Amino acid sequence: MNVDTQAPREARRSPDPAASDDGNVTAPRPFSESLAAAFRHLESTVESALTLLRVRRDRAALSYRRTIARAALVAILVVAGLVAIVAASLEVVGGIVGGLHALLGGAEWAARLLGGAVVIALVLLAVRSAFARQSRRHMEQLEKKYGRTRVDERDRRRARAPRSQDAA
């Protein structure tokens, strides 16, 4: 009688984790299989990373194209607005010249001359007011940044200066 066949099943099991449920010990995986599995995981990871990079590249390209399209649309709208403003300005100048022509008794050359002078004066006035507004804003920003004005600084210097006492 064979002692192995009569031993309980638990006693026949090997403590080896590679053992199968029926108690037989299975051979551990060869190194080549483990290495192949590691390479498969690495390949999968690299492929996922490449896919992610492609998606990000495509998104960046789409964003760039959208930005260019928006810039082109804004440029077209700005040009159209400027054309409308220039056309309206020409109509206003034409009306001014027509009024001066009638006022001056039919002297078209004088009306055109005065109309041009009025337009030049208006443009110069607009440029001057724009520069004055920009200069005022710049000064306000400087005052805000430094928290004082030249007058404040001069007053501080005067307050710090030693006062001479009159000899009596």
pLDDT in tens, 83-118: 999 999 889 888 988 888 888 888 888 888 888 888
Do 93 and 115 touch, CB atoms closer than 8 A? Answer: yes
Contacts of 27 (CB under 8 A, 6+ apart): 18
Residue type present at position 51: T
Cβ of 111: how many Cβ atoms within 10 Å?
A: 20
- Name residue, tokens 């492609």: 54
Phi, psi for residue 28 in degrees, rounded to 5: -65, 160
Q: How far are the Cα atoms of 14, 87, 102 from residue 7, in angstroms, in the given order?
A: 13, 109, 131
Give this prediction's pTM. 0.45
pLDDT digits (tens, 9 = 90+) for 150-159: 667 777 777 7
Alpha-carbon gap, residue 132 to 140, rounded angstroms: 12
Do 55 and 63 touch, CB atoms closer than 8 A? Answer: no
Structural tokens at position 45: 């990871």
DSSP-based three-state secondary structure for 24: coil
Q: Which residues are registered as beta bridge partners of 25? A: 19
Q: Which pLDDT belongs to residue 65?
A: 95
